[in-house]
Amino acid sequence: MKYLIFIITSMLIHLTVNAQNMDEWHDGSAIELKGKIYILSVFITTPGKTWTYDEKTDLLTSQFKAQDWLKQQAKLYGADISFENGFYGLKSDIVVDEIKSIKELYEARQDWVYQVLTKIGYSSPLEFLERLKNTKDCANALVIIYANQSGRSYAVPYSTGRNKEKYFFEGCTVYRKDTYYQYTCGATIAHEILHLFGAWDLYKRDKTDKERAKKADALFHNDIMIGGTCDLESLKITRLTAWLVGLWKYKEDVFEELRPRNHPSE
C-alpha cells in the first residue's frame, strides 16, 4: 500500500512538473501573469514632432482598459493580479532620432527598452529593474514604449541565453496608430503584454502557416492571440494562452502543434 501511494504521489509530482510551461521563453522580467505587475509606460517621439498630453493619455486609457480586462480574465483562472503604473515622457517629450514605421517583424528594432532607458539616464537597465522589483514589491515588470508614429506594434520577449543587460527587462513597442492609421486600441496592448509573458501568435503569420492558424481558430476561438478585433469583451484568454502565461497548469498535446515555427512575436 505504502509503495502504491509512493508511486501515485511520484506520478502526480511528475505530471505537475512537466505540465507547466518551462520553455526558454518562460524567462525575463515578465514571467507569469500572477501577483503584482509593474508597467512602465514610456512615450517617445522624433525631432519636430510634438505629442500632446491628451494624445498620450488617450493611449493610457486604452492601456488601463487592457489591464482591467487582463485582471478579469486572470480571475477566471483563480488568479488575483494587480498593476502598478509608472510613466516617462508624459508631460515632456522624450525625443529619439528616428522611429521606423514597420510593417514586417524583421524590420523591428529589438533594443528599444535598453536605448530609451539609457537615454533617460539609467546606466544599467538591469539594475534599475532589480531596484524596481524590490521597491515596488512586484514579481513581474515590463515596459511599454509608445511611439509617436504609425506602424505594426510588436513585443520583444526575453528568452534564456540572450544578452541580459539588453533584453531581460522585457518590453513592447506600441505605435500610436496601426498600419491602417487607426488609433491603437486596448486589445492590441493586451495582446502585446501577453507576448511578454510568453503567449504565442495564433493567427496566420505567412502562407505556410495556414493549417496551424485554422486549427487554432477551431480549438481556441476568440483567443486574444488570434486577434482581429478591438472589441475586448468578445476576446478571451483560452487554455492555451493561459498555460503559456502561467495561469493554467495543464498542458494538452495539441498545444505543441500550435507552437509558431520561430517564436519571436509581434
Interface with Zn ion (CB under 5 A):
201, 266
Name 83's bridge partners. Answer: 37
Angle between helices 125-136 and 112-120 (to 10 degrees): 80
In terms of CB distance, is 93 or 266 closer to Zn ion?
266
d(CA 158, CA 170): 6
Q: Nearest approach, Cβ of 202 to Zn ion (angstroms)?
A: 9
Q: Nearest approach, Cβ of 62 to Zn ion (angstroms)?
A: 16
Q: What is each CA distance from 74 to 32, 95, 200, 236, in whole angstroms?
A: 11, 36, 17, 10
Task: Count CA atoms closer than 13 A to 180's CA, side-chain side.
Answer: 5
Cβ pair 28, 168 in contact under 8 A: yes
Q: Nearest approach, Cβ of 1 to Zn ion (angstroms)?
A: 51
In terms of CB distance, is 125 or 157 closer to Zn ion?
157
Q: Burial level of 256, CB count in 10 A (0-12/13-18/19+)? A: exposed
d(CA 127, CA 134): 11
In terms of CB distance, is 32 or 266 closer to Zn ion?
266
d(CA 187, CA 15): 34
In terms of CB distance, is 65 or 263 closer to Zn ion?
263
In terms of CB distance, is 93 or 192 closer to Zn ion?
192
Residue nearest to Zn ion (CB): 201
In terms of CB distance, is 55 or 217 closer to Zn ion?
217
Q: What is each CA distance from 15 to 11, 91, 100, 235, in whole angstroms?
A: 6, 51, 46, 30
**Closest by CA position to 263, among listed 180, 162, 163, 112:** 162
Task: Count CA atoms closer than 13 A to 135's CA, side-chain side.
Answer: 7
What amino acid is encoded at 6 in this protein? F
d(CA 4, CA 36): 40
Q: Nearest approach, Cβ of 8 to Zn ion (angstroms)?
A: 41
Q: Nearest approach, Cβ of 32 to Zn ion (angstroms)?
A: 19
In terms of CB distance, is 39 or 196 closer to Zn ion?
196
Q: Nearest approach, Cβ of 195 to Zn ion (angstroms)?
A: 6
Q: Nearest approach, Cβ of 252 to Zn ion (angstroms)?
A: 21
